[in-house]
């Protein structure tokens, strides 16, 4: 199957190889949460809610000099093409929960909030490839909305290599093509990589190109997230009458 | 929510837990003496969010937010948000009901919806509401299961309705029921045909154009006809006051509630009053039914508006 048309260079959904899908982020969607955000990347829609810092529920897990970060990832039954009944603790959800937790833990200043707990919950409403990245981006927005101190914004994007072309931000069809899928998460300003996952096979020099492309995508998302947060701050300022 | 103005709240009331002299900020009073805070409002027939006792919160319905589902709806009553989506699958009908399809209704409260729901400690009310919804929708006979049949004895539709609470701020059952109805009103039954193995498979529109010889089991995409749609209203009872459409804070302070479900013809489908400290007199129950009737007119309008908004778009 031709993932990149040889004549026009367009992908299956009409994008160019370096084009990301349309992104949209909104803060404060869950009123009761300390921080929440809705993040869309194309057809992938994800809601993240952050509760904390609050008291640790399980005293046995309390850490005396830093905060405990917990994360739970779940997909709605109708989020994918076929409705599947997902058991809560299935392997894929547990793995992604762990990945998101460790990625966010790297950037939250946990030493400022000892003996407390920060909960990050992510719910996938619609899945069309790149759910991991959308979840991390939504979690960053939600943490910022909750006012939790962070080192930097963490953004994530995926890239692949099909029909001999590096492609940015794979959707579900491209992801299931069996080619390599590289997901990168970076700290935007300091340009450090916190998450890097790849499957399938890639020659090393091509891998470098694909990873660089994904990092470009992450930076673009970071720019957008900054704009959303700035808009939100201006709105808060005007509400407070400043 | 009340504005964060720190006006002093004079004490000196026995109902306020013996606050003798001195003043206190409104928010502190609200947290420390919630019942007294509410009673002061109820005496003036108003609630902290400035609603009169019998008014429900602003309700909105958006149809079709989940593009991958066969029918979906997002409903907000105040801050309470519910997302309902229906997926249809072909199955073989039961031998004792060869001409009927079936419904499976489930309600979930993921941890994002409320600070009290945590992984490992699911919300207590979630399975209760799940069962209530299932019973109400099936017993109201809104959906004629015969409409879900495809080929008698061989194939019929199993419709899975999943409702997710995205924000829990009181009156969960009302919002969930409304989202279920809105999703069913948005539902479009896809086209199916028999393939070579004699199995029924769904056919997408693009496939149809290429193969004129595909035999369709049902001739056109259609909507499910709904009769006798059930609508509900939950009311809190406290002493002699009836509060319609409570928020989560009100529900935590005054625990006795009544949920009345009426159908679009004004007939009673169900009354649910699961115990509680306040014992309701007959007149109270009649008043709740009357309030529900009023609410139904509002809800019918909102549902019709959202349906016509879909057609314009």
Give B110-152 pLDDT, tens digit per residue: 999 988 888 778 888 899 999 999 999 988 888 888 888 887 8
CB contact B106 to A (< 8 Å): yes
Phi, psi of B301 (to 5 degrees): -60, -45
Instruction: Find, in chain B, the residue whose alpha carbon is nearest to that of A126.
Output: B66
User: Is A62 domain-assigned?
Assistant: yes
User: Is A15 domain-assigned?
Assistant: no
pLDDT for B204 equals: 61
Chain B residues close to A38, C-beta within 8 Å: none
pLDDT for B169 equals: 92
> Do residue A31 and residue B118 have CB atoms under 8 angstroms apart?
no
Give B66-93 pLDDT, tens digit per residue: 888 899 999 999 999 999 999 998 888 8
Chain A residues close to B251, C-beta within 8 Å: none
Stated pTM of the model = 0.81
Compute the C-alpha angle B289/B128/A118, nearest 5°.
120
- The DSSP secondary-structure symbol of B121 reads B
Chain A residues close to B111, C-beta within 8 Å: 49, 51, 72, 119, 121
User: Is A13 domain-assigned?
Assistant: no
User: Is A224 domain-assigned?
Assistant: yes
pLDDT for A131 equals: 92
Q: Which residues of B296-311 are buried (b: 16+ CB within 10 A; e: fewer)?
A: beebeebbeebeeeee
User: Is A16 domain-assigned?
Assistant: no
> Do residue A79 and residue B68 have CB atoms under 8 angstroms apart?
yes
DSSP B116-151: T-BTTB--THHHHHHHHHHHHHHHTT-B-GGGGEEE
Instruction: Find, in chain B, the residue whose alpha carbon is nearest to that of A122.
Output: B112
pLDDT for B215 equals: 53
Domain that holds residue A81: 23-240
**What residues pair up with A158 in beta bridges, in sequence order?**
A183
User: Is A151 domain-assigned?
Assistant: yes
Q: Among partner residues B89, B162, B169, which is closest to A31 by beta-carbon distance?
A: B169
Give CA B192 to chain center in angstroms. 31
Ranges of residues in chain B with a pLDDT under 70 are 1-23, 196-220, 312-313
Size of chain A, expressed as the number of residues it contains: 242
pLDDT truncated to tens, each residue of chain A (242 aa)? Answer: 788 877 888 888 889 999 999 999 999 999 889 999 999 999 999 999 999 899 998 888 889 999 999 999 999 888 887 777 776 668 888 899 999 999 999 899 999 999 999 999 999 999 999 999 999 999 999 999 999 999 999 999 999 998 889 999 999 999 888 889 999 999 989 889 999 999 888 899 999 999 999 999 999 999 999 999 999 999 989 988 86
Chain A residues within 8 Å of chain B (Cβ atoms): 29-34, 36, 43, 47-49, 51, 54, 57, 70, 72, 74, 76-83, 88, 119, 121-123, 125-126
3-state secondary structure of A218: helix
Contact B4, B27 (CB under 8 A): yes
Contact A50, A36 (CB under 8 A): yes
- The DSSP secondary-structure symbol of A61 reads G
Look up the CATH number of the domain holding residue A41: 3.30.230.70
Give CA B243 to chain center in angstroms. 18
Interface predicted TM-score (ipTM): 0.73
User: Is A10 domain-assigned?
Assistant: no
Residues B11, B166: Cα–Cα separation, whole Å: 38
Chain B residues close to A79, C-beta within 8 Å: 66, 68
Contact A76, B166 (CB under 8 A): no
User: Is A8 domain-assigned?
Assistant: no
Of B3, B60, B57, nearest to B26 by C-alpha is: B3
Q: Among partner residues B106, B115, B160, which is closest to A51 by beta-carbon distance?
A: B115
How many domains would you assign to chain A? 1
């Amino acid at each position: 199957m031709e993932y990149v048309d040889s004549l026009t260079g367009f992908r299956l959904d009409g994008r160019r190889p370096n084009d990301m899908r349309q992104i949209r982020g909104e803060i404060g969607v869950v009123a009761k949460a300390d921080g929440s955000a809705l993040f869309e990347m194309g057809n992938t829609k994800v809601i993240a809610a952050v509760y904390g810092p609050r008291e640790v529920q399980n005293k046995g897990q309390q850490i005396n000099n830093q905060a405990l970060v917990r994360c739970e990832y779940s997909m709605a039954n109708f989020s994918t093409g076929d409705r599947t009944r997902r058991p809560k603790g299935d392997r894929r959800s547990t793995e992604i929960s762990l990945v998101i937790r460790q990625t966010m833990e790297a950037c939250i200043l946990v030493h400022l909030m000892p003996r407390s707990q920060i909960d990050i919950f992510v719910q996938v409403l619609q899945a069309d490839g790149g759910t991991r990245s959308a979840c991390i981006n939504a979690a960053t927005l939600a943490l910022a909305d909750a006012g939790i101190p962070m080192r930097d914004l963490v953004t994530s994007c995926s890239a692949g290599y099909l029909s001999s072309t590096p492609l940015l931000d794979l959707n579900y069809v491209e992801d299931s093509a069996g080619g390599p899928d590289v997901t990168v998460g970076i700290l935007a300003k300091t340009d450090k990589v916190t998450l890097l996952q790849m499957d399938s096979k890639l020659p090393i020099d091509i891998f470098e190109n694909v990873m660089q492309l994904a990092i470009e995508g992450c930076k673009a998302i970071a720019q957008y997230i900054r704009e959303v947060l700035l808009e939100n701050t201006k709105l808060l300022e005007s509400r407070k009458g400043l | 929510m009340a504005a964060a103005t720190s006006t002093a709240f004079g004490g000196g009331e026995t109902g306020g837990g013996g606050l003798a002299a001195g003043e206190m900020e409104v928010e502190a009073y609200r947290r420390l003496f919630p019942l007294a805070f509410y009673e002061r409002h109820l005496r003036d027939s108003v609630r902290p969010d400035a609603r009169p006792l019998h008014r429900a919160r602003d309700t909105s319905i958006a149809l079709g937010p989940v593009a991958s589902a066969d029918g979906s709806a997002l409903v907000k009553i105040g801050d309470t948000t519910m997302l309902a989506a229906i997926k249809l699958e072909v199955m073989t009908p039961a031998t004792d009901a060869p001409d009927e399809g079936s419904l499976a209704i489930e309600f979930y409260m993921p941890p994002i919806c409320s600070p009290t729901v945590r992984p490992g400690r699911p919300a207590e009310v979630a399975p209760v509401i799940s069962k209530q919804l299932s019973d109400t929708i099936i017993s109201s006979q809104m959906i004629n299961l015969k409409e879900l049949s495809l080929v008698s004895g061989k194939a019929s539709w199993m419709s899975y309705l999943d409702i997710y609470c995205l924000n829990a701020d009181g009156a969960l059952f009302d919002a969930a029921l409304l989202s279920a109805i809105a999703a069913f009103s948005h539902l479009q039954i896809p086209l199916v045909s028999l393939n070579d193995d004699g199995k029924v498979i769904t056919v997408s529109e693009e496939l149809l154009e290429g193969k004129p010889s595909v035999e369709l089991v049902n001739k056109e995409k259609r909507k499910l006809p709904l009769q006798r749609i059930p609508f509900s209203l939950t009311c809190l009872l406290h002493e002699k006051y009836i509060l319609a459409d409570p928020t989560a804070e009100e529900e935590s302070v005054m625990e006795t509630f009544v949920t009345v479900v009426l159908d679009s013809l004004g007939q009673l489908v169900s009354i649910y009053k699961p115990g509680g400290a306040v014992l309701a007199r007959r007149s109270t129950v009649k008043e709740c039914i009357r309030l529900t009737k009023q609410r139904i007119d509002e809800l019918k309008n909102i549902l019709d508006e959202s349906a016509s908004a879909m057609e314009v778009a």
